[in-house]
A and B are shown apart, each in its own frame.
Chain A
Amino acid sequence: MHHETTVLLIEIGALLFALGMLGRAGRRFGLSPIPLYLLAGLCFGKGGLLPLSASEEFIGIGAQIGVILLLVMLGLEYSADELVDNLRTAAPAGFLDMSLNALPGALFAILLGWDIKAALVLAGITWVSSSGVIAKVLGDLGRLGNRETPMILSVLVIEDLAMAFYLPIATAVLAGAGMLGGLSALGVAVVTVVAVLVVAIRYGTQISRFMSVKDPEALLLSVFGLTLFVAGVAAELKVSDAVGAFLVGIALSGPVAHHATQILSPLRDLFAAVFFVFFGLSTDPADMPPVLLPALGLAVLTMLTKVATGYLAARRAGIALPGRLRAGLALTPRGEFSVVIAGLAVASGVEPSLAPLATAYVLITVVFGPILARLPDYTWFKTLVHRRLAAQRAAAKPVPSVE
């Protein structure tokens, strides 16, 4: 065997094994594996503890497949009907979410003296909550039955759908097409997304019938192949490969989607881990210390705005104070999408300190978000909220005076 190939095998093998051990250790503390993978990437990258030599190109390709798989799985979770219904009922919440969370990111970038491209990217990073992490946290805390949960999920769905428009704009602007190029990319994206939604709602069952559920191997190859193909075509058309993959996921429905989810998830876990490591690899740990403080500030600011988003959206849905706080705190973690967006910026070489800032930001929110989400379950928090509620009631209804 070639010397280079053997080194590649050793490096990839050791890396994956280490990730497995890290993930296991993290699960013991209820920690999502995402921050651990990012930290591992930092250790193995340029300027890290143990720089990898032979496998960087391989990991780069694996990372791209990881993004595509993350997005196609996200699409598989939703049906086209669900997306359209959600858009109808939760559009105001989605709009509130965008204005409260994307704008602070953009303003922060301008404050740091960055250009408009970097501001657009940072807006995306602070906007999108991590649907993967949040869905897991809600399940772990036994909150799936809660009355505020449908509203939290709606906000996540709208964010994910909004990415189908945001990513093409970001890709075009980062490629130097300017605002006009961005708008034309948006036009293409809108037409494509609407066309896919219409086709999926009308002919979803026929498309899905085209693939057999009975043969898992054929299903794996056909769904995975179709996804890579459409992602490639979308990237060629400058609509972003991630969006192409997301749309494939939406177009598939019924039993095919259900089985595809099952057989693709091990692949997704593998390549998504590679993706997070790759992003960590592309960040030099030496660049981290100077951006730590801004990242912390941005994290605190945008976690507060997320809490406000959840609070207001839950109030709109008629949820009481404890539920509003639960919704707000649950929405704070940012994760895979923020890293995907930052990855776009890194690839196009805009603003060198953006990647370390994004890494630090995602690390902070993804570690502290789930901890914050747990807060409302503690007794002291509940008593605090109760006292507050009691005080409000007392203020609203003064004790009737004795006649």
Chain B
Amino acid sequence: MEQTPLPGIGVRHDLVTSSGRTVGVVSHRNGRRDLVLYDVDDPDSCLASIPLTDDEAEALADVLGASLMLGQLAGLRQQAAGLVTEQIALPAGSPFVGRRLGDTRARSRTRASIVAVLRDREVIASPGPSFQFEANDVVVAVGTRDGLDGVTAILAGDTDS
């Protein structure tokens, strides 16, 4: 990602993809952003400049983030036959409602990873240790069968921690 200041307007971020194309985002100081695609023949000029509203930018970022995560999951499944992906609903009486993901110590105890959390039909990809659980969250975890059962038990509060 390369960053270029545009005096009086804002800043431009751009990225050369492995296929040789360049895409960028012009962030205006007044909050407007344009998605720009560069010309193949003349890499200095943009072929299209698409203004995005806040909602559109957020939706696009979500889709990119979620598809990235799903792709990684599919990849994992193919690579290692023993790995399972599972959605685990946080039980209503879970001791972790309102607590942080790091507090579960799920990865070190079960060797299974929590790779995403589904909340209100939105995907929160790769939540960090400081991520805070809320009631009705659904956790997406990847691991062995035993590991996932362990995560389910931890989230339910069935183990002593």
Residues of chain A having any CB pair with chain B under 8 Å? 77-78, 82-83, 85-86, 131, 135, 142-150, 153-154, 156-157, 258, 319-320, 322-323, 326, 382, 386
- Verify A153–B46 contact, CB threshold 8 A: no
Bound-complex Cα distance A78 to B8 (A): 5
- 12 A/B residue pairs, CB under 8 Å, sorted by A: A78-B7, A142-B46, A144-B9, A144-B34, A145-B38, A145-B46, A153-B9, A156-B8, A258-B29, A258-B30, A322-B44, A326-B45
- Verify B46–A146 contact, CB threshold 8 A: yes
Q: Which residue of A lies closest to B46 (CB)?
A: A145
B92 touches A (CB below 8 Å) = no
Q: For the A-B complex with A147-B43, A153-B8, A320-B44 known, give 5 more contacts whose Cβ atoms are closer than 8 Å.
A: A142-B34, A150-B5, A156-B8, A323-B44, A386-B41
- Verify B8–A320 contact, CB threshold 8 A: no
**Residue from A86, A135, A146 in contact with B44 in the complex, judged by beta carbons closer than 8 Å:** A146
**Residue from B7, B8, B26 in contact with A145 in the complex, judged by beta carbons closer than 8 Å:** B26
- Verify B8–A143 contact, CB threshold 8 A: no
| Distance between B113 CB and nearest chain A CB, rounded to angstroms | 38
- Verify A145–B5 contact, CB threshold 8 A: no
Known: A78-B8, A135-B9, A153-B8. A142 touches B42 (CB 8 A): no
Bound-complex Cα distance A147 to B42 (A): 10
Which B residues are CB-close (under 8 A) to A83? 7
**Residue from A147, A154, A382 in contact with B7 in the complex, judged by beta carbons closer than 8 Å:** A154
- Verify B43–A150 contact, CB threshold 8 A: no
* Interface membership of chain B positions 109-122, coded 1 if the CB is closer than 8 angstroms to chain A and 0 otherwise: 00000000000000
- Verify A82–B5 contact, CB threshold 8 A: yes
Which B residues are CB-close (under 8 A) to A86? 7
Which B residues are CB-close (under 8 A) to A135? 8-9
Bound-complex Cα distance A157 to B7 (A): 7
| Distance between A154 CB and nearest chain B CB, rounded to angstroms | 7
B24 touches A (CB below 8 Å) = yes
Q: Classify chain B: how many residues form its interface, as a range.
A: 20 to 34
- Verify A145–B36 contact, CB threshold 8 A: yes
Which A residues are CB-close (under 8 A) to B18? none
Known: A320-B42, A322-B42. A144 touches B7 (CB 8 A): no
- Verify B8–A131 contact, CB threshold 8 A: yes
| Distance between B30 CB and nearest chain A CB, rounded to angstroms | 7
* Interface membership of chain B positions 20-52, coded 1 if the CB is closer than 8 angstroms to chain A and 0 otherwise: 000010100110001010100111111011000
Known: A258-B29, A258-B30. A147 touches B6 (CB 8 A): no
Residues of chain B having any CB pair with chain A under 8 Å? 4-9, 12, 14, 24, 26, 29-30, 34, 36, 38, 41-46, 48-49
Known: A144-B26, A258-B30. A322 touches B45 (CB 8 A): yes
Q: Which 4 pairs of residues, A with B, have the shortest CB-CB distance?
A: A145-B36, A323-B44, A142-B49, A147-B44
Which B residues are CB-close (under 8 A) to A156? 7-8
Which A residues are CB-close (under 8 A) to B48? 142
- Verify A143–B26 contact, CB threshold 8 A: no
Bound-complex Cα distance A296 to B29 (A): 38
Bound-complex Cα distance A365 to B26 (A): 29
- Verify B6–A143 contact, CB threshold 8 A: no
Which B residues are CB-close (under 8 A) to A143? 45-46, 49
Q: Which residue of B lies closest to A257 (CB)?
A: B29
| Distance between B158 CB and nearest chain A CB, rounded to angstroms | 50
Which A residues are CB-close (under 8 A) to B5? 82, 85, 150
Which A residues are CB-close (under 8 A) to B4? 150
Bound-complex Cα distance A90 to B24 (A): 23
- Verify A82–B7 contact, CB threshold 8 A: yes
Which B residues are CB-close (under 8 A) to A142? 34, 36, 46, 48-49
| Distance between B4 CB and nearest chain A CB, rounded to angstroms | 5
- Verify A323–B45 contact, CB threshold 8 A: yes
| Distance between A128 CB and nearest chain B CB, rounded to angstroms | 15
Bound-complex Cα distance A145 to B38 (A): 8
Known: A145-B34, A147-B43. A77 touches B49 (CB 8 A): no
| Distance between B96 CB and nearest chain A CB, rounded to angstroms | 38
Known: A144-B26, A145-B36, A323-B45. A150 touches B6 (CB 8 A): yes
Q: Which residue of A lies closest to B10 (CB)?
A: A144
Q: Which residue of A lies closest to B36 (CB)?
A: A145
Known: A319-B44, A326-B45. A150 touches B8 (CB 8 A): no
